Homo-oligomer: A and B are copies of this chain.
Amino acid sequence: MTFEQRLAQNATAVDGWLDIRLSDAEVSAPHLWRAMRYASLGAGKRLRPFLLIETATMFGVAHVAALPAAGALECIHCYSLVHDDLPAMDDDDLRRGKPTVHKAYDEATAILAGDALLTLAFEILSAEEVHEDTAIRLELVQALAKACGADGMAGGQMLDLAAETIPASLDDIRLIQSLKTGCLIKHACHAGAILGRASDEQTACLLAYAEKLGLAFQIADDLLDHESSPDAIGKATQKDANAGKATFVSLLGADEARTLAQLQVEQAIDALSDFGAEADMLRAAAEFAIMREK
């Protein structure tokens, strides 16, 4: 199976799992559940769930057994998109090719749908289907909370907003990336390693891989933003440049940014040298990070 096929297969499986988990059949506030479904089902590469599942399966975890943890992770990613798109934040109207949640519903519903998706992730992780061992589930809860909290993703978004008014250096941009998008990508591999009971050494290699991958992914995002169109990538482009906000591309130029991204991909693949063919999907994911068209 090619990487693209496996990515699509995993995305379908995660979507199917979320579709059932987010059923709004017997709920008190169906409007809120509809907004949560709108925010999380449908398009989306599902890269983070992919990384979680593929990391876990390296250690013999069944694909289906990794789905709940992958679904929880995607809930967090989707909540962050909903809140980041709000008028008070990045003020985006388009996401994954359709109106953002506050456009399709309203701001209050978008705030609450984000809150509820964030909360749901922890409810999912606490359930027995995630793993029979309570210590493993608790480790997943802790790792996820750290990855997406004030010293992780939320802190990164805060710094990113500040960078709209204070000129940012390459070091600043690097820190923002490592928190805002890096932490959750790293968590995807970390969670897979936790589920698979990977050794400390194996986990360290996977985290090194994910760190490089995350940076490559962000630089590729900046390049897409610089060179693509809203029609092609399903969200607004060149917003940062128009706002005079620093990115890897604005600070380094497109060519040097591309070289830096390529270097990260090579280092990501190098970090997996202790693993055999079981890590091929992760290697392919690193190549994909900079080859993708959206």
Contact = CB atoms under 8 A, between A and B. Distances in A.
A14 to B, nearest CB: 19
Which size class do A's interface residues fall under? 35 or more
Contacts of A144: 122
18 contacts: A27-B155, A28-B155, A28-B156, A29-B154, A29-B179, A79-B115, A83-B111, A88-B107, A89-B108, A112-B158, A119-B148, A120-B145, A122-B144, A123-B142, A126-B142, A126-B145, A127-B142, A134-B134
A150 interface: yes
A149 B120 contact: yes
Contact of A32 (B118, B126, B135, B155): B155
B150 A36 contact: yes
A86 interface: yes
Contacts of A236: none
Given A115-B118, A118-B115, A179-B28, A146 B158 contact: no
A137 interface: yes
Nearest to A118: B118
